[in-house]
Amino acid sequence: MKRVAARKPSAAAARERLASWIASRGLKATRQRDLIVDTFFTQTGHLSVDELLDKVTARDSSIGAATVYRTMKILTDAGLASARHFEGGQTRYEAALDRHHHDHLICTSCGRIFEFENERIEELQARVAEQHGFRVTHHKLELYGLCKACQERQQ
């Protein structure tokens, strides 16, 4: 099983893509939104709006949660971020630009999220779908349990 290295997508490339998406919809660029986008793309991992808001308000305390929500909605609609709805938590966002498909392992004790990519699992899923005459558009595989560190702590 190959662990996926969380590569930082370039904030500049994301901003450029977003700018053309925004312009094509007749929306205006705003300084606050730019700051949120910049902050988001210089982070890695799976961020909740609250976590992102913390980082954003450290740079500009006038930005509110509603603006962060709206910006993440735009980024998701533009295909630059993916919204993840893991069990028992808030919606989390991860960068989708230049990211390959991957699945997640979620620790129910410490909340850490690990990414993985497994070709055999992908193939098996495709075969199952085929056997059902089903055309898959996308899938999410989430494995819940205890990470290594939490298992060791509990011993």
Contact positions toward Zn ion, by CB under 5 A?
94, 107, 109-110, 115, 147, 150
Smallest separation (angstroms) from Zn ion to the CB of 25: 27
Smallest separation (angstroms) from Zn ion to the CB of 115: 5
* Rounded Cα distance, 16 and 21, in Å: 9
Which C-beta is closer to Zn ion: that of 90 or that of 109?
A: 109
Which C-beta is closer to Zn ion: that of 32 or that of 116?
A: 116
114 contacts 105 by C-beta, under 8 angstroms = yes
Smallest separation (angstroms) from Zn ion to the CB of 149: 5
Which C-beta is closer to Zn ion: that of 13 or that of 149?
A: 149
Which C-beta is closer to Zn ion: that of 63 or that of 147?
A: 147
Smallest separation (angstroms) from Zn ion to the CB of 57: 25
Residue type, 114: F
